[in-house]
Amino acid sequence: MVIRRPPDIPSSEITPEGVYVNRRKFIAAAAIGAAGAALAPRALRAFEDDVDQEVPARFRNMRSELDERLNSYRDVTTYNNFYEFGTDKDDPAKNSGDFNPRPWTVTVGGHCNRPGEYALEDILRPHTMEDRVYRLRCVEAWSMVIPWYGFPLADLIRRLEPTSNANFVMFRTVVRPQEMPGQRARVLDWPYIEGLRMDEAMHPLTLMATGVYGMDLPNQNGAPLRLIVPWKYGFKGIKSIDHIDFVEEMPDNTWKVSNSREYGFYANVNPNVDHPRWSQARERRLPSLFRNHETLMFNGYGEQVAHLYSGMDLTRWY
């Protein structure tokens, strides 16, 4: 994202969430994702804080392929980047109660054979709850291990039949300032916009997430439909998507528009390229207060995705 942020927001708190997927299958139809961005100590939650949380039993002892324990449901739902509901990490959970994700429609346009307005149920219909896949790891500067579930974005794209002129997919977050108080301020130019190159969008690791911990997405996590791209920094994970357009030219994503010096279009996790104001070589894993995890190139998915950027200068195309 690119923002005109208030001066009291620490620089380490700017990068958003959301990139999770698998390198190898570690459970049936499962995968893994991890996120990183800097930590606000007041928002930390211990894993044991919510032992009575009503989450499906299968998640109780689930671990990632790197033998990482899941963050608690409370971690996942109370420490969020979602500027439409406020700039502090606890704002989305506090301020999203009036947001109504049902009913929901997604408007599809641009270079495709099946444009139109689709009800969420039509988008989800081919995918039963049993079909949906799990992704567990993500990166910003703080990180969590989260069981998102959803379906491959590629499945939806094939149904919409993009033409040969569709080189990129552009996504837009819904604009409802009456329900999203953060949109009443000019912290960002609304609506929030993100995009992927077509080969990135079609990659089997790219997920349209519809839930977390076996339940529908909470409002603060991007209900009812959000993007997960596990090898990219969290701000690529656009939430509450209501428009999808197939375009010929690279779209101007929100953070790049607001501050192109600090945020680019690709946002691939790269420990060798520092953010202008902090190192990205290490990340903080909630609930730790320290940068105690080495950041992995492409968030550990180099085998699967490095070929997408063959010949590209990843210090220029950041």
Where residue 70 falls among pLDDT bands split at 50, 70, 90?
confident
Are β-strands 282-285 and 142-143 bridged in parallel, bridged antiparallel, or unpaired? parallel
Q: Which of 119-128, 140-149, 246-255 has the highest mean pLDDT?
A: 246-255
Question: What is the rounded average pLDDT of the residues 113-127?
Answer: 93
Dihedral sign of CA atoms 68, 73, 78, 83 in order = positive
Helix (H) / strand (E) element for 133: namely: strand 133-137
Report pLDDT digits (tens) over 231-262.
Answer: 999 999 999 999 999 999 999 999 999 999 99
State the pLDDT at residue 208. Answer: 95
Q: Does the structure show a pLDDT above 50 at 17?
A: no
What are the residue ranges spanned by the domains of the chain?
11-309
167-176, 222-231, 277-286: segment of lowest average pLDDT: 277-286
Top-confidence residue, 183 or 125: 183
Where residue 57 falls among pLDDT bands split at 50, 70, 90?
confident
Average pLDDT value for the chain = 81
State the pLDDT at residue 311. Answer: 96
Pick one of 1.10.472.10, 3.40.47.10, 3.90.420.10, 3.40.640.10 as the CATH number of 11-309. Answer: 3.90.420.10
35-49, 108-122, 289-303: segment of lowest average pLDDT: 35-49
Q: Which of 42-51, 96-105, 267-276 has the highest mean pLDDT?
A: 96-105
**Pick from 40, 221, 34: which is nearest to 146 by CA?**
34
pTM for this structure? 0.82
Q: Which stretches of the chain are DSSP H helices?
A: 73-78, 91-95, 120-124, 153-160, 198-201, 254-258, 302-305
Q: Does the structure show a pLDDT above 50 at 21?
A: no
State the pLDDT at residue 136. Answer: 63
Question: What is the rounded average pLDDT of the residues 293-318?
Answer: 93
**Pick from 183, 180, 288, 270: which is nearest to 233 by CA?**
270
Strands (E) in 162-291, as ranges, are 168-173, 193-197, 207-212, 215-216, 226-228, 241-247, 282-285
Q: Does the structure show a pLDDT above 80 at 68?
A: no
